[in-house]
Amino acid sequence: MSLGITRMIRGYLISSSSVTGYVPSRKIKIGWPRELDEFPCIIISQVGGTDLAYLGYGTSDAGSKLREENCSIQIDIYSKNNRLETMQIADEVVKTLISGNCTKESDIESFNDELGLYRKIQTYSYTQFHND
């Protein structure tokens, strides 16, 4: 799995003024933070993926060294304000990521009673080809 893809996804989000109009780039993070302390925020994490080698990948110097990397990315949007804010941010995230050739796979809403947080969870898939 690729750190490069998660960095690319963050790059798409922080370069979108429609996303950063809601969430400053410093609050768009990769990985799992120890504490959620600034809101609204976006957390990007990789939740799965596969790699596929094409014919000849490992058998011949003259063969193809092409492989396909499929990555599943989770976007968590958190807000203390209200559900509407998470939905507005999510709408801008969708527009930004599908423009970057990502495919949205799922979309779930929840509320964390313990922390008093509204949460929107989206998952995306992205395919990248490598010629090793």
User: What would the pLDDT profile of 4-28 be if each residue is shown by its tens digit?
Assistant: 899 999 999 999 999 999 999 999 9
Where in the sequence is the domain holding 33, given as residue range(s)? 3-131
Which pLDDT score is estimated for 60? 64
Question: 0.85 cut: is pTM over it?
Answer: yes
Residue 67: which CATH number?
A: 3.30.2000.10
Which among 34, 36, 32, 40 has a CA at the least distance from the CA of 90? 40
- Each residue's pLDDT tens digit, 27-42: 999 998 888 888 999 9
CA distance 70 to 90: 22
Query: What is the rounded average pLDDT of the residues 44-53?
Result: 90
Which pLDDT score is estimated for 62? 65
CA distances (Å), origin 121, targets 26, 33, 56, 58, 73: 19, 16, 39, 38, 10
**Token pair of 72 as six digits:** 């599943």
Count of domains forming the chain: 1
Residues of the chain with pLDDT > 90, as a percent, come to 70
The DSSP secondary-structure symbol of 41 reads E
